[in-house]
Chains A and B, each alone.
Chain A
Amino acid sequence: MNILVIAEHDNADLAPATLNTVTAAGQVGGDVHVLVAGQDCAGVADAAAKIAGVSKVWVCDCATYAHEITENTAALIQSIVNGKGDGKGYSHVMAPASTFGKALIPYVAALCDVQSISDISEVVDADTFVRPIYAGNALSKVKSSEAVKMLTVRTTAFELADDASADQSTDQNKWAEIESIDDAGATNWVQFIEQSLSPSERPELTSARVVVSGGRGMQSGENFPLLEKLADQLGGAVGASRAAVDAGFVPNDYQVGQTGKVVAPDLYLAVGISGAIQHLAGMKDSKVIVAINNDEEAPIFQVADYGWNEDLFVAVPALQAELEK
């Protein structure tokens, strides 16, 4: 059995979500290969080759993949699944359940006439998986009868695979072989114009050890620096509820929840967030949850390990002062 993991990256760095996906692939059992499609992405391919458990890296370094265009990457994956390369084909294709993977995997699946499975949180066996449904209010165990399983992976449900890139002394013989593969042509339907990315010095939201999130209770975007300072003191990232994003306090990529990002840090601080089920869906697997809210009835207190019924404009500065001590 060969499993193809689609690397998420920005041509410079491999996204940590790829490492969680490799762990899930390892649990399926079989040879784990990684596809790196990009432009000037040799460094990413090198990093992928050093991931523990990966036996081969396909790299397609081509202008077509300079920016992620679902159609182009999907065509490449389809050609590989159909046997391009070593001609052996794959039993599983897996990508992280990020906006990258969520757009890509169903698209490839339909090209291959496969019904894909989204956002798996557990691998039971090579055909059987568990996934959350209804904003995580139920878990569905499903079995696929497809010849090729195409899956997106809830990254917070799987550990990071060992990534030897930090340790250059690791035995080179154990690194996966890297082989290049031909591109599969480019669509002329879709033209990349630009990306406006939220610049941040902080850790990435979905892999941060600490997340400090603000909700409608923050009142305005001008108040978010309060949370940024707290996040910096704790070495964490800043997130938000949908209400805070909709109100324009912070950009869309801050949204945690059923229809935003899923996070499971060691410590999640919910500040001025009521705790709607759609928000809980994105953070209730955090190890420790702290809630600061001035409404003692707020549902967030029902899932919080530590609740503090206080005005956030009093509590957050007090917390900052205490951490400075």
Chain B
Amino acid sequence: MKILVPVKRVIDANIRVRVKPDQTGVETANVKMAMNPFCEIAVEQALRLKEAGHAEEVIIVSAGPEKCQETIRTGLAMGADRGVHINTETTLEPLAIAKMIKAVAEKESADLVILGKQAIDDDNNQTGQMLAAIMQRPLGSYISKIEKNHDGFAITREIDAGLEKLQITSPAVVTTDLRLNEPRYASLPNIMKAKKKPIDIVTPEQLGVDISNRIEVLQVTEPPTRDAGVMVSSAAELVDKLKNEAKVI
């Protein structure tokens, strides 16, 4: 089996983002970037399936500007075999990304595509579902467990009410939730090795995908802030404030 793992380069989860003064977006210049945490979980799961003997090859794909190759290298340093970079400066929407991943998945004959459930920048939570829909392959969203079996994959999903188990056929598309695994750190020798692993470069045009935007961002603003309140020092004081000042109990 071949596994394709689409990954996204995002502002590091530990950075506090700032809205640009011209309200066109958030400040990204000179900000630390990293692989989206859910994508790291996806890479880790692909590697575990390969290590368990279920897959022969793990391919990382990322769409965006040249710098995305750094993110692909992160995946290669974790242990993936090779990369595909879809090179474009255009801001991409999930549907366009899904269409490009579909083109790559078909070219590579990938049996399983593992994506993060959401990217922590746009918080869209869309690409995996869209990919499954346009590829007409079964979707396993928000998984916390996956096992290869005779009929395909046995998956456990994290849903609002608890956990859900499904059996899905192969080939399939799945998206990762936080509890699926804890991603490994790349060792120094593996970081060195990753520099030699191949990354193919393609363009949206070569993949035959129209990436023009359908959603226009009109304005990006700061949310209203909350002011710090007061400190209390006893249960009696807290209950009194909640009853008589805030009137919430």
Considering the chains assembled together, what is the distance between the CA atoms of A103 and B141 in angstroms?
7
The yes or no answer to B218 lying at the interface (CB within 8 A) is yes
Contacting A at CB under 8 A, from B19-50, are 19, 26, 38
Contacts of A308 in B (CB 8 A): 231-233, 238
Interface pair A278/B13, CB less than 8 Å apart: yes
Instruction: Please report A residues at the B interface, Cβ cutoff 8 Å.
Output: 10, 69-71, 74, 98-100, 102-104, 106-111, 113-119, 128, 132-146, 187-198, 206, 210, 234, 242, 245-246, 251-253, 258-259, 261, 266-267, 277-278, 284, 287-290, 301-310, 315, 318-319, 321-323
Contact B134 A110 (CB under 8 A): yes
- 10 more contacts with CB within 8 A, not counting A135-B120, A190-B138, A290-B238, are A99-B158, A106-B129, A107-B132, A140-B220, A188-B169, A193-B166, A195-B161, A245-B179, A306-B231, A321-B235
Inter-chain contacts of A259 with B (CB < 8 A)? 38, 117-118, 120, 177-178
Q: Write the nearest CB–CB distance from A314 to chain B, whole angstroms.
A: 9
Task: Give the residues in chain A near B133, CB-CB below 8 Å.
Answer: 74, 106-111
Among residues of A, the one whose C-beta sits closest to the C-beta of B139 is A70
**Closest chain A residue, CB of each to CB of B144:** A252
Contact present for A134 and B163 (CB under 8 Å): no
Known A306-B242, A319-B235; judge A133-B165 contact (CB<8 A): no
The distance from the CB of B141 to the nearest CB of chain A, in whole angstroms, is 4
Q: Give chain B residues whose Cβ lies under 8 Å from the Cβ of A144.
A: 214-216
Q: Whole-angstrom distance from the CB of A300 to the nearest CB of chain B?
A: 10
**Chain B 207-221 per-residue mask, 1 if CB under 8 angstroms from chain A, else 0:** 000000011111111
Q: CB within 8 Å of A: which of B133-153?
A: 133-134, 137-139, 141-142, 144
> B162, A194: Cβ atoms under 8 Å?
no
B193-249 residues with Cβ-Cβ distance < 8 A to A are 214-223, 226, 228-236, 238-239, 241-242, 246, 248-249
Is B162 within 8 A of A309, CB to CB? Answer: no
Tell whether, in the assembled complex, residue A193 and residue B165 are in contact, meaning their CB atoms are under 8 Å apart: yes
A interface majority secondary structure: mixed
Of B117, B121, B131, B168, which one neighbours A190 at CB under 8 angstroms?
Answer: B168
Q: Tell yes or no: B107 within 8 A of A by CB.
A: no
**Are the CB atoms of A195 and B249 closer together than 8 Å?**
no
A134 CB contacts on chain B under 8 angstroms: 11, 17, 26, 120-121, 123
- The residue that B16 contacts in the complex, of A140, A141, A277, A301, with Cβ under 8 A, is A277
Which residue of the partner chain A has the closest CB to B169? Answer: A189
Q: Which residues of B lie under 8 Å from residue A307 when comparing CB positions? A: 228-232
Task: A146 to B94: give the CA distance in the assembly, Å.
Answer: 14
Knowing A102-B125, A304-B229, A308-B231 are in contact, say whether A107-B214 is a contact too (CB < 8 A). no
Q: Report the interface size for chain B: residues with CB under 8 A from the other chain.
A: 79
Complex formed: what's the CA distance from A307 to B124 in Å? Answer: 33
B167 near A191 with CB under 8 A, answer yes
Is there an interface contact between B138 and A189, defined as CB atoms closer than 8 Å?
yes
**Chain B CB within 10 Å, residue with most, of A188, A266, A288:** A288
- Knowing A187-B138, A302-B228, A315-B235, the reply to whether A138 touches B169 (Cβ < 8 A) is no
- Decide: A70 and B141 in contact? CB cutoff 8 A: yes
Enumerate chain B residues within 8 angstroms of A319, measured Cβ to Cβ. Answer: 235, 238-239
B95 within 8 A of A: yes
Query: Could you mark each residue 67-104 of chain B with 1 if its beta carbon is under 8 Å from any beta carbon of chain A, else 0?
Result: 00000000000000000000000000111101000000
A139 and B95 contact, Cβ closer than 8 Å, known pairs A106-B125, A194-B165, A307-B232: no
Q: Does B159 have its Cβ within 8 Å of any Cβ on chain A?
A: yes
- Candidates B93, B137, B242; contact of A189 at CB < 8 Å: B137
The answer to the question of B108 belonging to the interface, with a C-beta cut-off of 8 Å to chain A, is no
Contact partner, B235, options A139, A140, A318, Cβ 8 Å: A318
B56 within 8 A of A: no
Q: Nearest chain A CB to B182's CB is how many angstroms away? A: 9
- Docked-complex contact B16 and A137, CB < 8 angstroms: yes
Q: Which of B174-196 contact A (CB under 8 A)?
A: 177-179
Whether B122 sits at the interface, judged by CB under 8 Å, is: yes
Chain B min CB distance to A64 (Å): 15
* Chain B positions within 8 Å of A246 at CB level: 178-179
Q: List chain A residues, Cβ under 8 A from B216.
A: 142-145
Cβ–Cβ < 8 Å partners of A103 in chain B:
129, 139, 141-142
The chain A residue sitting closest to B124, CB to CB, is A118
Shortest Cβ distance from residue B24 to the other chain A in the assembled complex, whole angstroms: 10
CB distance from A83 to the nearest CB of B (A): 19
B123: nearest chain-A partner, CB-CB: A133
CA distance A188 to B219 in the complex (A): 44
Given A110-B134, A191-B167: A138 and B228 interface contact (C-beta under 8 Å) = no
